[in-house]
């Protein structure tokens, strides 16, 4: 009989977690794809033969860096021709203006007719218009000459060289020369359930929301960025809303086409008392936890839980930092029960 009573009083083993004070981020998860911040297919704006390539495949370039050179000589000749035409017309204009001045003086003294004056003025005006047309032709020719050097329109990483030196290209063909992707910064597009949209909109109206890009194991943070876009439609097939975040990507941990796990941080409870969600159980008058005291006895405490963040929950009242709380399998425990506590495995 004594041995049976002793067996009945053996303290049950329980796993406990220690209540901690920490910042508890509330976030939404989504699966995303890394995309270039900008992507450009570089094409030529003028016809001609490629005489030089100025980049290596996979090279990082700055906006304005030369990528290709098209034979500039035909365009340089057009500039020279336009400048020569302007010089000719300017000389004629100067002579016509002098003649017009003389005609005006003669007309004033009645030594010339109004008709001859009007004819000379028309000639002068025509030459002035010709000079303006020449200046426009020079600007156009210089622009064509500038286009002969094909430059990077954005900063980024060049892809495979699609056209080599010696090839003749025609703008009408729309020949692609190289693809250029901006990866610093870089973007991640991901989706979340439509039910999360009101919460996202509410939080995004007050501040810029942070986003983490995580590796496939969801443990390693690859980069931290900011939410930049909330989609304007909900996908009726999947019931999701599209989001886009932008990352500085200084260390190039993100690469176009890469799949990542995205965490959109809605808000952060700073200095919260935090427990695993499994610590909180329904009681007769509301949620309770089972706290283990220094003598390893149970105290059933009503608690006021706050927001959940996946496997954790913030407690507003009822638990103090450092309290040991039974994690799960609280069945059979009551106020004053003696237990044998063991630390819960990490992640519990």
Fold of 9-24+271-343: 2.40.420
Is domain 25-37+182-268 in CATH 3.30.420.40, yes or no? Answer: no
pLDDT tens digit sequence for 118-152: 888 899 999 999 999 999 999 999 999 999 999 99
- Mean pLDDT calculated for residue range 231-235: 94
Checking if the pLDDT of 4 tops 50, the result is no
Residue 266 to residue 200: CA distance in whole angstroms: 7
* Chain region(s) in the chain for CATH 2.40.50.100: 44-71+149-180
Output the pLDDT for position 348. 47
Output the pLDDT for position 245. 98
pTM greater than 0.85: no
pLDDT tens digit sequence for 238-265: 999 999 999 999 999 999 999 999 999 9
**88, exposed or middle or buried, with CB in 10 Å at 0-12, 13-18, 19+?**
middle
| CATH of 73-147 given 1.10.10, 3.30.1050, 1.10.287, 1.10.150 | 1.10.287
Query: Any alpha helices (H) in the chain, and if so which ranges?
Result: 2-8, 73-108, 114-147, 197-206
In percent, the amount of the chain with pLDDT more than 90 equals 73
Instruction: Name the band, by pLDDT with cuts 50, 70 and 90, for residue 9.
Output: low
* Chain region(s) in the chain for CATH 2.40.420.20: 9-24+271-343
Is domain 44-71+149-180 in CATH 3.40.190.10, yes or no? Answer: no
* Chain region(s) in the chain for CATH 1.10.287: 73-147
Q: Tell which wins on pLDDT, 346 or 75.
A: 75
pLDDT tens digit sequence for 165-199: 999 999 999 999 999 999 999 999 999 999 999 99
């Amino acid at each position: 009989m004594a041995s049976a009573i002793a067996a009945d009083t053996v303290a049950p083993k329980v796993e406990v977690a220690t209540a901690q004070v920490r910042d508890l981020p509330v976030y939404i998860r989504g699966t995303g794809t890394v995309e270039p911040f900008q992507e450009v297919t570089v094409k030529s704006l003028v016809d001609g033969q490629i005489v030089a390539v100025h980049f290596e495949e996979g090279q990082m370039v700055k906006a304005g860096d030369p990528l290709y050179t098209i034979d500039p000589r035909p365009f340089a000749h057009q500039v020279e021709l336009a400048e020569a035409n302007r010089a000719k017309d300017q000389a004629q204009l100067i002579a016509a203006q002098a003649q017009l001045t003389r005609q005006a003086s003669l007309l004033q003294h009645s030594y010339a007719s109004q008709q001859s004056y009007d004819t000379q003025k028309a000639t002068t005006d025509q030459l002035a218009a010709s000079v303006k047309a020449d200046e426009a032709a020079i600007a156009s020719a210089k622009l064509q000459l500038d286009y002969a050097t094909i430059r990077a329109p954005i900063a980024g990483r060049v892809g495979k060289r699609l056209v080599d030196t010696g090839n003749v290209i025609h703008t009408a063909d729309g020949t692609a020369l190289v693809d250029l992707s901006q990866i610093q910064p870089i973007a991640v597009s991901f989706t979340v359930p439509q039910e999360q949209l009101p919460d996202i909109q509410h939080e995004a109206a007050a501040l810029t929301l942070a986003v983490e890009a995580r590796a496939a194991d969801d443990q390693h943070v690859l980069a931290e960025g900011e939410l930049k876009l909330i989609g304007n439609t909900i996908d009726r097939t999947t019931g999701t809303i599209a989001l886009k975040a932008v990352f500085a990507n200084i260390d190039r941990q993100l690469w176009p086409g890469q799949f990542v796990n995205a965490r959109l941080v809605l808000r952060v409870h700073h200095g919260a008392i935090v427990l695993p969600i499994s610590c909180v159980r329904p009681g007769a008058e509301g949620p309770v936890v089972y706290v283990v005291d220094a003598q390893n006895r149970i105290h059933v405490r009503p608690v006021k839980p706050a927001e959940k963040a996946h496997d954790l929950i913030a407690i507003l009242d009822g638990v103090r930092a450092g309290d040991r709380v039974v994690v799960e399998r609280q069945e059979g425990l009551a106020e004053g029960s003696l237990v044998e506590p063991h630390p819960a495995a990490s992640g519990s």
